[in-house]
Amino acid sequence: MKNMKFKYIVTMATSITLLLVSCEKDLLDTKLDTERTPETIATSSSALFGFAGAFYTPLRDGFTEIDNNVFATVSDEAQNNLPTNDALFYNQGLISETINPESFIYKSYYEGIRAANFFLDYAQDADTYILIGKDPVADASVITNDRQNVAWFKAEAHIAKAFYYSELIKRYGGVPIVNQTLDKSGKINIPRSTYNQVVEYIVKEIDDNKANLQVNWKTSAFSGNDGRFTLGAALAIKARVLLYAASPLNNPTNDVEKWKRAAAACNELITTPGLNLALNQFYGSYFRGTAPLTSAETIFAIRRPANNTIEKENYPIATPGGKGAISPSDNLVAAYEYSGTPNPTDPYANRDSRLANTVAYNGSTWNNRVMDFSVGGTDDMSKANGSKTGYYLKKFLNDNLNLVQNATAQHNWVVFRYAELLLNYAEAMNEAYGPDNNNGYGKTARQAVNEVRARSAMPIINIATTNTKDGFRLAVKHERRIELAFEGHRYWDLLRWKDAEIVLNQPIIGVKVTKVSSNPNVWTYQKAAVATRKFNANANYLYPFTRTEIVNSNGTLVQNPGY
């Protein structure tokens, strides 16, 4: 199976996963029916590699995280413009054990864990299946190749489990650890592990299996497998998990050893030979088309067939085919620093270049026209479903896509990238050692942040205001907000920092645009609250388990506080 194409594996995996799920009871009712028999499961090399692909199926891209759009509307990054939307349940603190737009993730990710465990059990007889129908001499190279692929897939199965658990504990805190697929009774009881126990499980899964992973598919003889987990992806999962574990939500006593451990994990990833990580030359174009698949900035990306969903959802309503579903907030826009002298008549001039690559604002040119949000303008905010804030999302969107003719473009969701890693490193290093102590590693926290800023031609961060841990912490939070905008980090950052109870109880701000001259175009801007937000600090830092999961657990699953 030389240079097996990953897209083939995933396609096959979809049907395999459905087979697995259809033969099971509810995934986590703590009664896992894990019996398999020769009558129900095929024994062949094709089945073997099909099961290998199955544990990738639950991976989700962030383009359709909520309301068929990015997750930004649950945070202070954006407001949903449509009259009914699921983000409202977050915005008004209404998440409960019976209402949670993401409740399906719990079962979906445990399906991925189940598929990984199933493959690991099935692959115990891998050599038998590989040899079926093959001549040991004539097919020696094929057999060798298949054995290597199985070895990689075994390691990847462990990394898949680590990834799914990392996403589960981010949402729920401690969860049950399911680490077996066979039981003579066909049923096992699963007590809920603590958050820290799951963290240690994740780290062990990665450390025990990282040596058996492909370092970098792109530069290997098996580049067709790019898209499967690599050593880089595994270390990125570990680094992010340990960063979250060291953060105030999960480290209330601020144990500095947890920060040191997170910093070491980030440094391990930065310095691992063969990963060849580097920032993409350009910020804006990195997120479009096939750029994430070829850029050295990408550590792991989820590939999707060409489509136009994010353009349909987010092109301005004045653009044929566009729904303008979400509006970036002025809360976010105002956070972009000036890169030069402020212009009193144009609040968007001389700003951090990442703003123009992320947000379409009044007076900017996009899709071959000038955006005009004023009354009577092309993007008049008073139009039905018009922007509520005076902004539209631009990041990720391909320019000039003809939606009327249903034109499509490539979109690839970046799960881990080098810029995030640098900011993870900077945060952990600052908390562990301060902003300017490299602890013998290759760079200080300050150098890591400045490396990210330099790509967008932003000056180094102010030394006078960032020479303490507290001052530098604010700089890191700011840089994450700007660099990682709309990539699905903001909500979880606010939670892990325990800033959500302040930030997510503040109103969403927009701008009212008034045109005072047409030749040349001159506008004035007035800020105003456009939506209220509510965050319940007694409950909303964790998701609730659904009522169904609680009932089915027969007392082994305890509900999170506040629900």
CA distance 55 to 118: 9
Specify the DSSP class assigned to residue 228. Answer: B
CA distance 74 to 167: 17
User: Mind spelling out the 3-state secondary structure of 435-501?
Assistant: CCCCCCCCCCHHHHHHHHHHHCCCCCCCCCCCCCHHHHHHHHHHHHHHHCCCCCCHHHHHHHCCCHH
Instruction: Please write the tens of the pLDDT for every residue from 475-525.
Output: 999 999 999 999 999 999 999 999 999 999 999 999 999 999 998 999 999
Query: What domains can be seen in the chain, in order of their start residue?
Result: 1-58+102-193 (no CATH), 230-305+411-498 (1.25.40.390)
- Positive or negative, the CA dihedral 433, 437, 440, 442 is positive
- Phi and psi of 306, rounded to 5°? -55, 135
Q: Which residue type occupies 13?
A: A
Structure confidence at residue 180 as a pLDDT band (50, 70, 90): confident
Instruction: Please write the tens of the pLDDT for every residue from 416-450.
Output: 999 999 999 999 999 999 999 999 999 999 999 99
CA distance 34 to 184: 9
Cα of 338 vs its chain's centroid, Å = 28
Compare 187 and 118 and report the one with higher pLDDT.
118
Q: How many CA atoms lie within 13 A of 279 on its CB side?
A: 19
Compare 25 and 117 and report the one with higher pLDDT.
117
Which residues touch 221 (CB under 8 Å, ≥6 apart)? Answer: 3
Predicted TM-score of the model (pTM): 0.92
Q: Read off the tokens for 283.
A: 């910020």
DSSP letters along 239-288, please? HHHHHHHHSTTT-TT--HHHHHHHHHHHHHHHH-TT------S-SGGGGS
Whether residue 39 has pLDDT greater than 70: no
| In contact, 389 and 84? CB cutoff 8 Å | no
Instruction: Please write the tens of the pLDDT for every residue from 256-268.
Output: 999 999 999 999 9
CA distance 372 to 360: 10
Q: Read off the tokens for 546.
A: 């659904």
